[in-house]
């Protein structure tokens, strides 16, 4: 399912964070998650993970979030589309679900990874998200695609209806 809203406020087992490879915190959804979880605690937990490669995912506790876990994934920076960006983005969704399965999380919320600061076109990112999630084998039984803006919600809704 897709909804429009603030991912930090959702009642799910795990929220996915669109992080950077240093797991250093930042702006956008990453900043919102760090603020809502508690900056100091989350920064300390992230520091123990030793970074995260683009396309990979690693978990921390959710701390102040109602979600029990935060799954940090690192999307690709858009460089025109011929540098494997779509494959890396698909890997973010797959790896995040694999980590969710390891945690036995049954409900997971995803932001529109890479579509902010990292510049991935929203329509292509929505296709990658929906296509990859549909093809994945997982124990997660509730996947929520969280759009921050109406345009992204419209893209998800059309793809999910088709």
DSSP-assigned letter for residue 146: E
- Supply angle C-alpha 31, 100, 150, rounded to 5: 50
Could you list the active site residues? Answer: 30
Q: Is 115 among the residues that bind ligand AR6 (CB under 6 A)?
A: yes
Q: Is 27 among the residues that bind ligand AR6 (CB under 6 A)?
A: yes
**Pick from 60, 75, 89, 128: which binds ligand AR6 (CB under 6 A)?**
75
Q: Least Å distance between CB 111 and ligand AR6?
A: 4
Match 């969280």 to its residue by tokens. 146
For residue 55, give the nearest of 106, 7, 21 by alpha carbon: 21
Q: How far is CA 40 from CA 27, 29, 32, 63, 73, in A?
A: 16, 17, 14, 10, 19
Q: Is 30 among the residues that bind ligand AR6 (CB under 6 A)?
A: yes
Q: Is 7 among the residues that bind ligand AR6 (CB under 6 A)?
A: yes
Query: Of the listed pieces 40-48, 61-69, 137-145, 148-156, which binds ligand AR6 according to CB under 6 A?
Result: 148-156
Q: Is 114 among the residues that bind ligand AR6 (CB under 6 A)?
A: yes
């Amino acid at each position: 399912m897709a909804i429009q809203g603030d991912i930090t406020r959702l009642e799910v087992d795990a929220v996915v964070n669109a992080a950077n490879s240093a797991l250093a915190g930042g702006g956008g959804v990453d900043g919102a998650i760090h603020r809502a979880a508690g900056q100091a605690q989350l920064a300390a937990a992230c520091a123990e993970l030793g970074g995260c490669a683009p396309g990979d995912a690693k978990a921390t506790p959710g701390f102040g979030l109602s979600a029990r876990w935060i799954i940090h994934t690192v999307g690709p920076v858009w460089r025109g589309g011929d540098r494997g960006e779509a494959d890396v983005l698909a890997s973010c969704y797959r790896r995040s679900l694999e980590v969710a399965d390891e945690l036995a999380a049954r409900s997971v919320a995803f932001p529109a990874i890479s579509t902010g600061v990292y510049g991935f076109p929203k329509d292509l990112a929505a296709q990658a998200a929906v296509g990859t999630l549909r093809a994945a084998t997982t124990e997660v039984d509730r996947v929520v695609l969280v759009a921050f803006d109406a345009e992204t919600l419209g893209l998800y809704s059309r793809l999910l209806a088709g």
